[in-house]
Each structure stands twice: as C-alpha cells, then as structure tokens.
Amino acid sequence: MVTAAHEGPIQIIRDNPEVIAQILHTAFDIRIPDDLIIKTTSEEFTQIAPAAYRADNVVEMYRADSSKPTVAVVAETQRRKDACKRGSWPVYLTTQRARTECPCYLVVFCHRRSVAEWARKPIEIGHPGFTLTPLVIGPGMGPLVTTPDQATQMPELAVLSRLLDVTPATKEELEITYAALATIESAGHEHAHLYTDLVLEALPTAARHILEEFVATGIADYEFKSDFARRNQAIGEAESVVKVLDARKVPLSKEVRDRILECRDKEQLDEWLVRAAMAETVDELFD
C-alpha cells in the first residue's frame, strides 16, 4: 500500500515526472529547457555497480530528436538517518552519469527536519574535488508554492510540498494545498482521491480538520484553466487516439505510439482522433 511517509512523493513523480523539473528550478535555481521530454525510467543500478542497487525513482529528460537524455535525476525518499545511504547515493549518481553521459542530480525528499539537515551534509568521496552534496527537499526550507493561483499551475509540486512539510501547516498554507488538490480533482486525474488521502494522512489532527473543511466545500470556488488541466486533458486525448487505433488493429511501432502519447497539442490530437476512426494504416493518421 502507498504510504504518505515514503511512497507518496515517489508516486507523484511516477505520475508526473515533470514535477522534478519544477523542483530543480523552484528550489535550486537549476533551469531545465521547456522543450525537453521528461520520462520516468529504470530504477535499477546494475550496469556498472558491483552489486544491485535500487533507487526510489529515476527521471530522464530528452530532446525530441534524441534518444540520449540531456539531464537525469535520481530521486530518493529518506525517512531516517542511514549511514549506508552516504555510500550508495554516490553510486546511484555516478552509475547514472556513466550510463547516460549527461548532467545528473540527486534529489532527496525528507519528512523530518533533523533528517533533512543530515541529508544535506556533503559526502566527501576522498578524491580531490569529488564531493556530493544532495539536493534536499524537506521541512524548514521555505515555500515552493506561495499562492493558490500558483498551486493551480503546479498542483503536484504543492501537494509534494505539503507531504514533506516544507512549510508549517497554517490555514493559509492549507488553502494552497486545497487549491492544488481541487485542481487535480477537476482535471480528472486517476489518483486525485489518493493524493487527498495521502495529504490528510500526513497532517496533524488540527490541520487535517482545516483541510477537511476546505474539501467539504467542494471545488466550485476555483476555475481551473491551468496548464495542468490542459496537459491532463491532452494526455487523455492522446491515450484515446492510441486506444482507437488499437481497437481497429492498426499496427503501431513503439516510436509512433510514443509520438502520439507525448503530443500535447490539442488541435493536433483532435485531428488524429478523427483520422484514427477511419485510418487503415498509421500513414493515414499522419498524412
């Protein structure tokens, strides 16, 4: 079962790996080009390491015309201090760097302030100039999302911030969380109720009651015309195009399937959906 304490943040990244780019930019001023395609990839590190290592999640970012990633991020959730991690984290990162030959980052999610402070300490490898300082998201670092309007644009980042107690759970902060949860619900996200449950589970009793009051009022107070909502609508339409072609037994290569599923242009998807209903071959879809 997914738990707020460990799997919640990782579930959000699996659902929408684009939140990693938002974290790098918002929390660490590392700017990721807007045109990159962002994917969750393998979490096994066995290609170079002498023993199998497993990270919680790996996200890779690609240019549309390239099969090699431009940026890679290893994401870890850390609930307690663990000296072994100071040995395995460098392995995760250097193995990913050797495999992808691109800039690689380590982002660590911590729920407790003391663990976050421990995780931020530089890891001295020993070789001159070879030091790894994890990028840590956790309590006390300051807000990542500051208004309800921002929460409607970056709802998953707002939910992630709440799960990690990045800021105290005041009424103002919980309104931001509510705006994020309502946006996700309005967009028809398949895990909308799960996200709400994860947040409620993570909150202390008094804060939970405040958020429950917000949730009980429904989502009518917000108009959701955010990038998030449009993106999820596009994802759903792209999946519909593939489903229609599959149902009509039109052969699709992996490259074609990925091209359709990665498209976020609603007008293009509308056209493909109409053509998919009549196409006998994939060439007829793109002509």
| Tens of pLDDT, residues 185-210 | 888 888 888 888 889 888 988 998 88
CA-CA distance, 199 to 113, in Å (whole number)? 18
Boundary residue ending a domain (116, 141, 166): 141
Q: DSSP secondary structure string, 129-196?
A: T-EE--EEE-TTS--S--SHHHHHHSHHHHHHHHHTTSS---HHHHHHHHHHHHHHHHTT-TTHHHHH
Boundary residue ending a domain (112, 141, 170): 141
Beta bridge partners of 131: 124
pLDDT of residue 270: 86
Which of the two residues, 236 and 106, has the higher pLDDT score? Answer: 106
pLDDT of residue 110: 95
| Tens of pLDDT, residues 88-141 | 999 999 999 999 999 999 999 999 999 999 999 999 999 999 999 999 999 989
**Residue 164 structural domain:** 143-222
Residue percentage of the chain with pLDDT more than 90: 48
pLDDT of residue 5: 57
Three-class SS state of 286: helix
Together in a domain, 51 and 118: yes
Boundary residue ending a domain (141, 165, 188): 141
How many Cα atoms occupy the beta-carbon half-sphere of 79 within 13 Å?
10
**Total number of domains in the chain:** 3
Together in a domain, 12 and 93: yes
CA-CA distance, 99 to 112, in Å (whole number)? 32
